[in-house]
Structure 1
Amino acid sequence: MTLLTAERTPAGTSYLATGQGQPVVLIHGVGLNKEMWGGQIVGLAPHYRVIAYDMLGHGASPRPASGTDLVGYAEQLLELLDHLELAQASIIGFSMGGLIARAFALHYPQRTGGLVVLNSVFNRSPEQSAGVIERARQVAEHGPNANAEAALARWFSREYQAANPAQIAALRQTLASNDPQGYLTTYELFATQDMYRADALHGIRVPALIATGELDPGSTPQMARELAARIPGAEVAVLAEQRHMMPVESPRLVNQLLLDFLHRAQTIENPAEGIVA
Structure 2
Amino acid sequence: MIRLTAERTPAGTSYLATGQGHPVVLIHGVGLNKEMWGGQIVGLAPHFQVIAYDMLGHGDSPLPEPGTSLEGYAEQLHELIEHLGLPRVSVIGFSMGGLVARAFALHQPQRLDSLVILNSVFNRSAEQRAGVIERTRQAAEHGPDANAEAALSRWFSHEYQAANPAQIAAIRQTLAGNDPQGYLTTYELFATQDMYRVEDLGSIQAPTLVATGELDPGSTPEMARQLASHIPGAQVAILDEQRHMMPVESPRLVNQVLLHFLQQAQAFKNQSKGIVA
Residue number in structure 2 paired with 1:118: 118
The SS at the match of 1:99 is helix
2:230 is aligned with 1:233: no
Residue number in structure 2 paired with 1:176: 176
Distance in 2, matches of 1:111 and 1:275, equals 20
Q: How far 1:268 moved relative to its partner? A: 1.2
Distance in 2, matches of 1:273 and 1:37, equals 31
CA contact (8 A) 1:13 1:61 kept: yes
Residue number in structure 2 paired with 1:270: 270
Q: How far 1:216 moved relative to its partner? A: 0.1
Residue number in structure 2 paired with 1:90: 90
Change in Cα spacing, 1:105 to 1:275, as seen in structure 2 (3 Å) is closer
Give 1:29's aligned amino acid: G
Q: How does 1:28-107 map to 2 (within 5 A)?
A: 28-107=28-107
Give 1:239's aligned amino acid: L
Deviations 1:114-169 (A, max 9, x none): 00000000000000000000000000000001000000000000000000000000
| Structure 2 segments unaligned to the other structure (5+ residues) | none
2:1 is aligned with 1:4: no
TM-score (norm 1): 0.98
Distance in 1, matches of 2:142 and 2:126, equals 24
CA contact (8 A) 1:267 1:274 kept: no
Q: How does 1:243-258 map to 2 (within 5 A)?
A: 243-258=243-258
TM-score (norm 2): 0.98
The SS at the match of 1:64 is coil
Distance in 2, matches of 1:226 and 1:270, equals 29
Residue number in structure 1 paired with 2:216: 216
Residue number in structure 2 paired with 1:199: 199
The SS at the match of 1:224 is helix
Distance in 2, matches of 1:224 and 1:73, equals 22
The SS at the match of 2:146 is helix
Q: How far 1:2 moved relative to its partner? A: 3.1
Residue number in structure 1 paired with 2:186: 186
| Structure 1 segments unaligned to the other structure (5+ residues) | none
Distance in 2, matches of 1:54 and 1:128, equals 27
CA contact (8 A) 2:2 2:42 kept: no
Change in Cα spacing, 1:75 to 1:275, as seen in structure 2 (3 Å) is closer
Residue number in structure 1 paired with 2:26: 26
Distance in 2, matches of 1:98 and 1:185, equals 16
Distance in 1, matches of 2:103 and 2:273, equals 30
Give 1:176's aligned amino acid: A
Distance in 2, matches of 1:228 and 1:12, equals 33
Distance in 1, matches of 2:89 and 2:198, equals 22
Deviations 1:229-253 (A, max 9, x none): 0000000000000000000000000
The SS at the match of 1:50 is strand
Deviations 1:13-32 (A, max 9, x none): 00000000000000000000
Distance in 2, matches of 1:110 and 1:68, equals 23
Give 1:126's aligned amino acid: A
CA contact (8 A) 1:31 1:58 kept: yes
Q: How far 1:192 moved relative to its partner? A: 0.3
Q: How far 1:87 moved relative to its partner? A: 0.4
CA contact (8 A) 2:31 2:58 kept: yes
Change in Cα spacing, 1:161 to 1:233, as seen in structure 2 (3 Å) is same
Once the two structures are overlaid, the 10-residue window that deviates more, 261-270 or 52-61, is: 261-270
Q: How does 1:132-143 map to 2 (within 5 A)?
A: 132-143=132-143
Please list every run of at least 4 consecutive aligned residues from structure 1 whose deviation after the TM superposition is greater than 6 angstroms: 272-277
2:155 is aligned with 1:155: yes
Q: CA RMSD in A?
A: 1.3
The SS at the match of 2:224 is helix
Distance in 1, matches of 2:104 and 2:18, equals 22
> Alignment identity in percent?
78
